[in-house]
Amino acid sequence: MLDYEIGPSQAAALLGENQARLLDVREPWEFAWAHVEGSLHIPMGDLPVRAARELDPAERLLVLCHHGIRSLNVTAWLRRQGFAQAQSVGGGIDAWSLEVDPTVPRY
Protein backbone atom coordinates (compact mmCIF):
# COMPACT_ATOMS: atom_id res chain seq x y z
CA MET A 1 0.00 0.00 0.00
CA LEU A 2 1.20 3.51 -0.80
CA ASP A 3 2.16 5.93 1.97
CA TYR A 4 -0.49 8.49 2.84
CA GLU A 5 1.88 11.33 1.92
CA ILE A 6 4.18 12.04 -1.00
CA GLY A 7 6.67 14.87 -1.35
CA PRO A 8 6.15 17.68 -3.86
CA SER A 9 9.15 16.70 -5.99
CA GLN A 10 8.00 13.07 -6.17
CA ALA A 11 4.49 14.23 -7.04
CA ALA A 12 5.80 16.50 -9.80
CA ALA A 13 7.78 13.61 -11.28
CA LEU A 14 4.70 11.35 -11.37
CA LEU A 15 2.61 14.10 -12.93
CA GLY A 16 5.31 14.77 -15.52
CA GLU A 17 5.16 11.12 -16.54
CA ASN A 18 1.33 11.13 -16.63
CA GLN A 19 1.24 8.53 -13.87
CA ALA A 20 -1.08 10.47 -11.57
CA ARG A 21 -3.76 13.15 -11.39
CA LEU A 22 -3.47 16.22 -9.16
CA LEU A 23 -6.61 16.96 -7.14
CA ASP A 24 -6.74 20.42 -5.55
CA VAL A 25 -9.18 20.51 -2.63
CA ARG A 26 -8.74 24.15 -1.59
CA GLU A 27 -11.46 26.79 -1.63
CA PRO A 28 -12.24 28.61 -4.91
CA TRP A 29 -10.55 31.84 -3.78
CA GLU A 30 -7.37 29.90 -2.94
CA PHE A 31 -7.38 28.14 -6.29
CA ALA A 32 -7.88 31.47 -8.08
CA TRP A 33 -4.92 32.94 -6.19
CA ALA A 34 -2.51 30.08 -6.90
CA HIS A 35 -2.77 26.66 -8.51
CA VAL A 36 -0.81 24.06 -10.43
CA GLU A 37 -1.70 24.04 -14.12
CA GLY A 38 -3.67 20.98 -15.12
CA SER A 39 -4.94 20.19 -11.63
CA LEU A 40 -8.55 19.19 -11.03
CA HIS A 41 -10.23 21.56 -8.59
CA ILE A 42 -12.85 20.04 -6.30
CA PRO A 43 -13.17 21.92 -3.00
CA MET A 44 -13.04 19.67 0.05
CA GLY A 45 -16.69 20.32 0.90
CA ASP A 46 -17.83 19.25 -2.58
CA LEU A 47 -16.00 15.92 -2.62
CA PRO A 48 -18.75 13.78 -1.04
CA VAL A 49 -21.05 14.69 -3.95
CA ARG A 50 -18.52 14.82 -6.78
CA ALA A 51 -15.95 12.10 -6.02
CA ALA A 52 -17.94 9.11 -7.25
CA ARG A 53 -18.86 10.72 -10.56
CA GLU A 54 -15.63 12.63 -11.33
CA LEU A 55 -12.83 10.47 -9.94
CA ASP A 56 -11.65 7.00 -10.92
CA PRO A 57 -10.90 4.69 -7.95
CA ALA A 58 -8.21 2.97 -10.04
CA GLU A 59 -6.36 6.22 -10.72
CA ARG A 60 -3.46 7.49 -8.64
CA LEU A 61 -4.67 10.72 -7.06
CA LEU A 62 -2.32 13.28 -5.54
CA VAL A 63 -4.31 15.54 -3.23
CA LEU A 64 -3.20 19.14 -2.73
CA CYS A 65 -4.23 21.87 -0.30
CA HIS A 66 -2.42 24.87 1.24
CA HIS A 67 -0.09 23.19 3.77
CA GLY A 68 -1.05 19.50 3.61
CA ILE A 69 -3.53 19.17 6.48
CA ARG A 70 -6.80 19.23 4.54
CA SER A 71 -5.29 17.07 1.81
CA LEU A 72 -4.25 14.44 4.36
CA ASN A 73 -7.81 14.36 5.74
CA VAL A 74 -9.21 14.10 2.20
CA THR A 75 -6.74 11.33 1.39
CA ALA A 76 -7.91 9.32 4.41
CA TRP A 77 -11.54 9.86 3.39
CA LEU A 78 -10.87 8.90 -0.23
CA ARG A 79 -9.14 5.70 0.85
CA ARG A 80 -12.15 4.77 2.96
CA GLN A 81 -14.27 5.29 -0.17
CA GLY A 82 -12.15 2.86 -2.18
CA PHE A 83 -9.58 5.22 -3.73
CA ALA A 84 -6.62 3.12 -2.58
CA GLN A 85 -4.03 5.09 -4.56
CA ALA A 86 -4.83 8.51 -3.09
CA GLN A 87 -1.90 10.36 -1.53
CA SER A 88 -1.56 13.77 0.07
CA VAL A 89 1.12 16.12 -1.24
CA GLY A 90 3.06 16.91 1.93
CA GLY A 91 3.41 20.62 2.63
CA GLY A 92 0.70 21.51 0.10
CA ILE A 93 0.96 24.17 -2.55
CA ASP A 94 3.24 26.17 -0.28
CA ALA A 95 5.88 23.42 -0.42
CA TRP A 96 5.17 22.95 -4.15
CA SER A 97 6.07 26.61 -4.70
CA LEU A 98 9.28 26.25 -2.67
CA GLU A 99 10.45 22.90 -4.09
CA VAL A 100 8.97 22.53 -7.57
CA ASP A 101 7.72 25.76 -9.15
CA PRO A 102 8.60 29.14 -7.64
CA THR A 103 6.26 30.88 -10.11
CA VAL A 104 3.29 29.54 -8.10
CA PRO A 105 2.39 32.37 -5.69
CA ARG A 106 2.64 31.76 -1.95
CA TYR A 107 0.01 33.07 0.46
The catalytic position among 11, 55, 61, 65 is: 65
Query: Could you tell me the pTM of the whole model?
Result: 0.97
Q: Tell whether the torsion through CA atoms of 75, 90, 58 and 104 is positive or negative.
A: positive
Q: Is 44 a catalytic residue?
A: no
Q: Encode pLDDT of 48-88 as tens digits.
A: 999 999 999 999 999 999 999 999 999 999 999 999 999 99
79 burial class (0-12, 13-18, 19+ CB within 10 angstroms)? Answer: middle
The CATH H-level superfamily of 5-99 is Rhodanese-like domain (3.40.250.10)
Residues 19-45 have a mean pLDDT of 98
Statement: residue 38 has pLDDT above 90: yes
Statement: residue 1 has pLDDT above 90: no
